[in-house]
Structure 1
Amino acid sequence: MRRTLEDKIVDGVNYTLLAIIFVITFYPFYYLIIISFNEGLDASLGGIYFWPREFSLVNYTTILSDPKWIMAFFVSVARTLVGTLLGVLFTCMVAYGLANKNLLFQKVYYPIFIVGMYVSGGLIPFYVVLRHLHLLNTFWVYVIPSMLNLFLLLIAISFFREIPSELEESARIDGANDLKIFYSIILPISKPILATMSLFIGVGQWNSWLDSAYYVQNENLRTLTYRMIELINTSSVPTDLQGPAVELATQAAQATPFSLEITAMVIAIVPILCVYPFLQKYFVKGATIGAVKG
């Protein structure tokens, strides 16, 4: 089709608006990156907008040379991988069972899950439950309580209900049981919902820090985001008080608490940004499942 003048004007306005939105959303993160690669003392003078004025890796070497940050990074990676794997698997298993039209008392379970989504027992009762389960101050306190995501459970139920029942019936004729059908047939054709759940659960695991603050006392089990929050909080106190930010800053004359804060943010954000492009194709399809059919 031949494009008219009105089409060109509309396209021009759209591209202009998209460019403005892109700059507004991308530049803050870009600014964090250039500050993290700039000398801390020089960055404190201001006037840096598009590229580092005094390029330096001192902020990264200062943080990454600290054993506490190295351990926190591995704890965050471990909890993200294990928590995402078990969370997706367990949530899918429950959703697959609830999606079965022959499930007894099926209508009873939904109100329970809806109430569980919006009503919480509170921090103290949850702490008591974790204590009786002997999960406090262990790695599994990051994983077990979050294995069932109620919001993603409802989306997964809608997805599994759209799968033709003929697939299960043919598998049962061949002698497959429920577990065989679930692992060999249902999961392989559920990549969109699996990718969506993996992204949501993985980001939640990576960014979580309250559980590390409330339920863990072992410094070797602290997460990367907890270290980042600790660094930000301690850098806001008077400099005559000692803290992780002050200690890190004194290790390198060219680093400041502010530049270390920015660097910690970049380190915490980059891994998630690197994973998202690989899941985007499935995420877009999986995220619309609940809107099409609830």
Structure 2
Amino acid sequence: MRKRTLEDYSVDTFVYALLIVIFIVTAYPFYYLFIISFNNGLDTGLGGIYFWPRDFTLANYEKIMGDAKWTLAFFVTVARTGVGTLIGVVFTCLVSYGLAHKGLVFKKIYFSLFVIGMYVSGGLIPFYIILRHMHLLNTFWVYVVPSMLNIFFLFIAVSFFREIPSELREAATIDGANDMRIFRSLILPISKPLMATMALFLGVGQWNAWLDSAYYVQNENLRTLTYRMIEVINRGNIPTDAVSIEYAANAVKVTTYSLQVTSMVVAVVPIMIVYPFLQKYFVKGAMIGAVKG
């Protein structure tokens, strides 16, 4: 083992110091929003809060959690994230596994269509018309069906499945397994890093999506958490007398700004909690496109 020199220690010190600075710069804004969400709204307006709440209160969270619309939006968001991510991962893997088959007829045509679909969009109005003809408007499935196939991950998955030795599939075929049995019992178990990476990105996309809730849904019971957050933020930008009266009734512990911050925390924290559990697979899966592409 080579003996460390003064230059090695200097470089390490510089790198660690730089990483600490980058961490503080990137993490502190989230921490600041977090402590503000636990502070008295009127007291927050005085400024000077940097490291911990000066006037601790749960009024901001009580205001949001006590609203039935937010509670329902939370369950709708959890449902669309879970169902949408599961169906998106399975369907994308199914299509990409078929495209990775060496004997697939018209393979080039299929790939050309997917490439065109990835780079060219039909536009909002044609997409709206398609959803209307499919009877998806103002339903829960408008959140799930359009995102069933992710073309970006489709190409990554095709590259991954091509690298699986064909001898494995041939051996399973000799043992009497059909294509679906091979896919379910052989391909999916060895594709956990790929699926975890897809699940992380698709899940975050489902959790953060709000445009579909704004454009394609009119039923207030189907609104998502992020839509409610945008609603609170936009409401705060309109200083009406009705809004002023509403917040004055809350004993000035809750203000427009404190509700905006709290809604952001409620919308962001759950997905941040899930990430560490998928990080192990994410690190492996992130290298799939680079190594096997």
Q: Shorter-chain TM-score: what band?
A: over 0.9
CA drift of 1:34 comes to 0.5
CA distance in 2 between counterparts of 1:144 and 1:23 reads: 40
CA drift of 1:220 comes to 0.2
CA distance in 2 between counterparts of 1:248 and 1:174 reads: 69
The equivalences for 1:102-181 within 5 A come to: 102-181=103-182
CA drift of 1:250 comes to 3.8
8 Å CA contact 1:235, 1:246 repeated in 2: no
Pick closer, same or farther for the CA change 1:21–1:72 going to 2, 3 Å: same
Give secondary structure in 2 for the equivalent of 1:51.
Answer: coil
Other-structure match for 1:236: 237
The equivalences for 1:70-85 within 5 A come to: 70-85=71-86
User: RMSD value over aligned CA atoms?
Assistant: 1.2
CA drift of 1:285 comes to 1.2
CA drift of 1:38 comes to 0.6
Pick closer, same or farther for the CA change 1:202–1:47 going to 2, 3 Å: same
* Alignment-mate amino acid for residue 151 of structure 2: L
- For residues 71-126 of structure 1, the C-alpha deviation after alignment (integer angstroms, 9 at most, x for no partner) is 00000000000000100000000000001111111111112111111111100000
CA distance in 2 between counterparts of 1:209 and 1:193 reads: 26
CA distance in 1 between counterparts of 2:248 and 2:172 reads: 63
CA drift of 1:148 comes to 0.3
CA distance in 2 between counterparts of 1:81 and 1:192 reads: 18
CA distance in 1 between counterparts of 2:163 and 2:255 reads: 55
Pick closer, same or farther for the CA change 1:250–1:114 going to 2, 3 Å: farther
Other-structure match for 1:272: 271
- List structure 1 segments (4+ residues) > 2 angstroms apart after TM superposition: 245-253
Give secondary structure in 1 for the equivalent of 2:188.
Answer: helix
Other-structure match for 1:253: 252
Q: Please, what TM-score do these two structures have when normalized by structure 2? A: 0.97
* Alignment-mate amino acid for residue 275 of structure 1: V
2:246 paired with 1:222 = no
8 Å CA contact 1:246, 1:257 repeated in 2: no
CA drift of 1:24 comes to 0.5
Q: Please, what TM-score do these two structures have when normalized by structure 1? A: 0.97
CA distance in 2 between counterparts of 1:252 and 1:144 reads: 45
Pick closer, same or farther for the CA change 1:110–1:152 going to 2, 3 Å: same
8 Å CA contact 1:62, 1:248 repeated in 2: no
Give secondary structure in 2 for the equivalent of 1:190.
Answer: helix
Other-structure match for 1:203: 204
Pick closer, same or farther for the CA change 1:92–1:270 going to 2, 3 Å: same
Give secondary structure in 2 for the equivalent of 1:33.
Answer: helix
CA distance in 1 between counterparts of 2:274 and 2:173 reads: 37
- For residues 4-39 of structure 1, the C-alpha deviation after alignment (integer angstroms, 9 at most, x for no partner) is 000000000000000000001110000010000111
Give secondary structure in 2 for the equivalent of 1:238.
Answer: coil
CA drift of 1:284 comes to 1.1
Other-structure match for 1:285: 284
Pick closer, same or farther for the CA change 1:248–1:146 going to 2, 3 Å: farther
Give secondary structure in 1 for the equivalent of 2:46.
Answer: coil
- For residues 240-294 of structure 1, the C-alpha deviation after alignment (integer angstroms, 9 at most, x for no partner) is 2x46x97467445300010000000001111111111011111111112112232
Unaligned runs of 5+ in 1: none
Aligned pairs, how many?
A: 292
* Alignment-mate amino acid for residue 269 of structure 2: V
* Alignment-mate amino acid for residue 143 of structure 1: V
